[in-house]
Every structure is written in C-alpha cells, then in structure tokens.
Chains A and B, each alone.
Chain A
C-alpha cells in the first residue's frame, strides 16, 4: 500500500469479509457476511465494484469456480486476499487503533 493511503470503509469491510470467509468468499457470501455482521444491506454491484478496485490494486485475486445448479448453471468467482491486501488491512487497523486510542469513553466500550 502506498505510504499514507488508507483503505476506504467498504474496502476495509470487504477485505475483512474475505479474511473471515477464507476459501468460501464469492460475491453472494461476501454480501451476506457483511449484512449478517453489520446490518448493512449493500448491493451486489457495490461488492463487485469494490472487489475489482481491490484486485486492480493487487490486494485481492480472483478465479472462476465450477457452474452449479442452484445458480442456474452459472459459475462462481472466488476472491482471495493477497499479501498486499493483508498489509493494507493491518495498516488501516493500526491507523484506526492509534486514532481511537483514549477515545473509548465516547462509545462506552472496553
């Protein structure tokens, strides 16, 4: 990640979803993981647009799986986080951790 460039909020959340889903990360599972955990009902178009942006930056890679019947014979496109993406995620987390240090009383947790 270029120095000083942080991940956008949706990029951050989607990379975290890829980490959680591991080998099961494709458009639908990423969208559902985000909706289940954050309550954000984002569109599948926003998921793909963000994943393609991350792929262009080299943070994720993708490959096409086998077509399945429950998808009307259409293939899945699986996504995987790359070392550059893990580094970007760590850097963004670190920046947020530093900026929130000492402010926990504002949202009443730990």
Chain B
C-alpha cells in the first residue's frame, strides 16, 4: 500500500530507484529494534510533498498551476452538467442520486487527472491539491446541503482519484 501510494507521485524514471532505496534501508533498520513499518510509512508520507513540489516547479510552475486549474474547472463543469441531467432525466431517491453523483464526480476527477498529467507533468498533483482545498472550503461553506458522508468521501477520494488518473497515464506511458 505504501509503495503504491509513493508510486502515484513518482515519475517512471524514479519509481524503481526510490522504492529500492526504501526497501534496502528498511531491511537494514528491521535488524535493529524499534524500527520498521512506522519508519517506512513516515518516509513515504514525508516524501510526497517534496516530490509533488519538484514535479510542479520545473520550467514555469505557473503553467502547471494553470493547467491544473483549467482541468479542475472543466471537471467541475462536466460534473455539474451530468448531475443536472441526472436530476432532470431520472426521478431517483435522494440517497441513490447522491451515490450516483459521487461515482460520476470521482470518474470525472480520474479522467481529469489523466488528461492534466498528459498535458503537463505534475499538473495532476497540483490539481489534487486544488481539489482537496476546494472540497474542504465547500464543506466549511455549505455544511448541511450535502450529506456529510458524501463530503468526507469526496474530500479523500477526490484528490486520490486525480492522482490515480495521473498515475494511470504515467503507467501507460512507461
């Protein structure tokens, strides 16, 4: 799980070497007491921010941010249109409608992450951060309008889908 998470943020070039370094040091550390999975997970989680920042900043970071923002806006429009069509065409139970909205939303995020990564390396990571901030802001602004489980699910699964979309592109490219 930790390896997979790290792979989502690494370029194809770095993936094997970084994971190899972690595995090698993990083997050394597990020979001494008090070290192990806690250290491994700590390394993985603390590695993500510098890797994301490094992938965003080459060339012109503002372009990466612009691609990420554009992908986020397009995803938002698609999601809004799909949600409106769902309400108009089908008379669904509120819970079923919310579940379908969540599935459409996450699929849109996955596709947007894929396209953002294709347009500019690192744009999917930047978009993941934008999605997390936007969902947190929306949660604070309109608490009560949407079920809490939906908001929490989107807070975690939204950025995850965007990053997974980028990882899918990286895998296909490799």
Contacts and interface: CB of A to CB of B under 8 A. Distances in A.
Nearest to A29: B21
Interface stretch (B12-20, B69-77, B97-105, B129-137): B12-20
B16 A48 contact: no
Interface residues of B, number: 23
B47 A46 contact: yes
A48 B21 CA distance: 11
Q: Interface residues of A toward B: which range?
A: 20 to 34
A74 B19 contact: yes
B20 A48 contact: no
Contacts of A64: 17
A77 B16 CA distance: 9
A49 B19 contact: no
A48 B14 contact: yes
Given A56-B58, A76-B17, A49 B50 contact: yes
A56 B54 CA distance: 11
Interface in A50-92: 50, 52-53, 56, 64, 67-68, 70-72, 74-77
A26 B50 CA distance: 18
A45 interface: yes
Nearest to B49: A45
A28 B21 contact: yes
B50 A31 contact: no
A76 to B, nearest CB: 7
A12 interface: no
B48 interface: yes
A32 B2 CA distance: 21
A71 B18 contact: no
Which residue, of A45, A46, A72, A77, has the highest number of chain B Cβ atoms within 10 A? Answer: A45
9 contacts: A27-B21, A44-B18, A44-B47, A49-B51, A67-B20, A71-B23, A75-B16, A75-B20, A76-B21
Given A26-B17, A48-B54, A53-B54, 10 more contacts: A27-B21, A45-B46, A45-B49, A45-B50, A46-B46, A46-B47, A48-B14, A52-B54, A67-B20, A74-B23
